[in-house]
A and B are shown apart, each in its own frame.
Chain A
């Protein structure tokens, strides 16, 4: 079974530029998560989808971050414009049990904002 796929793996941009990340969850997984992990810290949830609906986006900085999962499968996370403090690893995870069970993580996208 294929795991959670993410791209790109690495991205370097200058502040005020835009960037987008893509995630393809495990087939059949209804729940999808985007996390931000700053160096030396644990992951922080940005947004949780159940199919194509948003369950929780309370920690998403909506003035610059947006995410969508239009067909309830793959998802994109966008930052526009980027700030220096957005430098982090962006992790996507999926689950088939609405969040109560195991989450499967992708390899992450390491973003560096200069």
Chain B
């Protein structure tokens, strides 16, 4: 079983819809990252969380440490949000990230 599980694997939405991507993990963590990967490979860090909630523009990330679960929400989705969204955890004393397999989001105009 992977330490990091994301759902759904693929998500297609209409422009303007509210989107939720989920991440569950099975070990204690010191931080959780949400990353965005566009076609072509480059990865951009969106959030780093250790508790609670963070908001940046139309993106909101939440984490529940007790339930070992995090969600990434996109409000008023736009075709430019189409990308792969990856959850990654920093666990225990490790100084390395363990990545989920990503969620491919496609937002249709």
Contacts and interface: CB of A to CB of B under 8 A. Distances in A.
B45 A104 contact: yes
Interface residues of B, number: 23
B101 A41 contact: yes
A109 to B, nearest CB: 8
Task: Tell me the dominant secondary structure on chain B's binding face.
Answer: strand
Interface of A: 31, 33, 37, 40-45, 48, 55-56, 89, 91, 93, 98-108, 110
24 contacts: A33-B96, A40-B101, A40-B102, A42-B86, A42-B88, A42-B99, A42-B100, A43-B86, A44-B99, A48-B95, A89-B41, A91-B41, A91-B43, A98-B95, A99-B95, A101-B48, A102-B33, A105-B35, A105-B42, A105-B43, A106-B42, A107-B42, A108-B42, A110-B41
